[in-house]
Amino acid sequence: MKTKAEALVARGAARFNAGRPREALAAFDAAFSLGFDRADARCFAAHAHLAVGEIPEAVAAFEAAIRLDPGHLPAYLDLAGLLHRGGRLLEAAKTLRAALKEAPGHEGALRLLAELKTGGGSAAKSFVELAVPGGPLRVPRLGNLPIEVIALLAGVKPVIHCWAGEADLPAFDELCRRLRLERFVFPRPAGSRGAERLGVLIGRDAASLKRTARMWDGERFNPGRSLGYPPCCTRWYYSHVVDKKDDDLVRSILRHTRGRTALPFLLNDAFYFYSRVPSVQSGARRQKLFARNPDLDLDLLNLIPWHPCSYRCAPSLAKARRIWKTALKVAPGLAQALRACLGRPVVFWDWSRFAVLRRRPGPGLSYAAVEPPFSLLEPRLLARLEGADRVQVTPAGLELWKGGRRVGLLGGKPAPVLLDFTAE
């Protein structure tokens, strides 16, 4: 049975999630006065202070959390981020070094410390600026969150979801304040896959957020409709992908597509690694892919934050055009980068093995070179592609040509397919 203090903390968390930070603080303070003092409650109180603009009080609350539990890493990261944003770089660095004493090699602490040492150079790359009323809005690069926000601004997504850490919550607070959105935070159940602990839902309707959070971890919960995906795509995803985990999702979509030439780049999901079969979440291979493309953020190489049921799906294409129109308005630089990366043909084996080609005039698929993003394709297959000057689709497979002569079929397991995306 919950004690009175525990009930007060639960009430404070609920009021904070309901957008009533002052009432949340009153509940937390009442719990603290009864002697209930834990690091997680102090962190919640710190975020409530931030929500009402009380920066010194937030700093004090994070410091209290660290004193109560020196091993509570989110408090260190949140405090360091807050100090960094306030220009208190030496104090932020000291906080991160203290965190690393508790957890040597902690990736988040090391990343933030590196940003401080480079004068914030990498921190500048941690955001995408959107041109919205009231001035530029910096959206953190948490997964594909900038794309999700653009889709919400386009009226396509009623709800945004992502997994995050406590240190990321202040950025969500600012996002919601600027765009007049609601947010709801719920913990990830113990035993769930992934290292992040919090589910963050953002949208305009608080009731929809709570309803989505309640359903999120239900058996075979399909969140597509709640998140604004076309019904045909959500039905197809569960019937053709979730229950058939022996094939790459992109290959399944291509088989479901009629007319495979000149596919619209707006629906290119070849580099969208979310919601693929479980092997796609292999951390080591993802890290290698990102290392091969240091100048590209692979998490942002998609326009629609879902997978279409086919590359001719009319509902997906209609929604994609609305997102594209909004992207051109609020993030023209990102939009043009997306057109350049997504509007090219891809020779595709699986999610981590592909080759992006630059199209040039000529019969069949003529190309000049293999271009970024680069994959983990075996060197022998990459050498065969780079030694040719044309790829042609035939019933037998993908033929390689050089100087007007056929020089063989392109092999590998599984056999490659051609995703003929175009920016036209």
pLDDT at residue 114 in the model: 67
Q: What is the mean pLDDT of the chain?
A: 84
pLDDT at 1 over 60: no
The 3 state secondary structure assigned to the chain is: CCCHHHHHHHHHHHHHHCCCHHHHHHHHHHHHHCCCCCHHHHHHHHHHHHHCCCHHHHHHHHHHHHHHCCCCHHHHHHHHHHHHHCCCHHHHHHHHHHHHHHCCCCHHHHHHHHHHHCCCHHHHCCEEEEEECCEEEEEECCCCHHHHHHHHHCCCCCEEEEEECHHHHHHHHHHHHHHCCEEEEEECCCCCCCCCCEEEEEECCHHHHHHHHHHCCCCCCCCCCCCCCCHHHHHHHHHHHHCCCCCCHHHHHHHCCCCCCCEEHHHCCCCCCCCCCHHHHCHHHHHHHHHHCCCCCHHHCCCCCCCCCCCCCHHHHHHHHHHHHHHHHHCHHHHHHHHHHHCCCEEEEECCEEEEEEEECCCCEEEEEEECCCCCCCHHHHHHHHCCCEEEEECCEEEEEECCEEEEECCCCCCCEEECEECC
The Cα 29–Cα 2 span in angstroms is 17
Hey, what's the torsion of the CAs at 331, 335, 336, 342, to 10 degrees?
160
pLDDT at residue 67 in the model: 93
The model's pTM: 0.71
Ranges 47-51, 68-72, 265-269, 399-403: which has the least confidence = 47-51
pLDDT at residue 393 in the model: 84
Over residues 301-337, the pLDDT tens digits come to 999 999 999 999 999 999 999 999 999 999 998 998 8
pLDDT at 174 over 60: yes
Residue 100, Ramachandran bin (φ over 0: left; ψ between -120 and 50: alpha; else beta): alpha
pLDDT at residue 277 in the model: 62
Each domain of the chain, given as residue ranges in start order, spans 4-124, 346-422
* CATH classification code of 4-124: 1.25.40.10
Q: Is the Cβ–Cβ distance between 62 and 46 less than 8 Å?
A: yes
pLDDT at residue 264 in the model: 96
pLDDT at residue 191 in the model: 47
> How large is the average pLDDT for residues 145-163?
94
pLDDT at residue 279 in the model: 56
pLDDT at residue 343 in the model: 93
- The encoded tokens of residue 72 equal 């509570």
pLDDT at residue 120 in the model: 39
pLDDT at residue 229 in the model: 93
Q: Is the Cβ–Cβ distance between 384 and 410 less than 8 Å?
A: yes
Position 117 confidence tier, pLDDT thresholds 50, 70, 90: low
Over residues 188-244, the pLDDT tens digits come to 555 444 444 688 999 998 888 888 887 776 655 667 778 999 999 988 887 776 666
The Cα 357–Cα 192 span in angstroms is 38
- The residue with greater pLDDT, 144 or 89, is 144
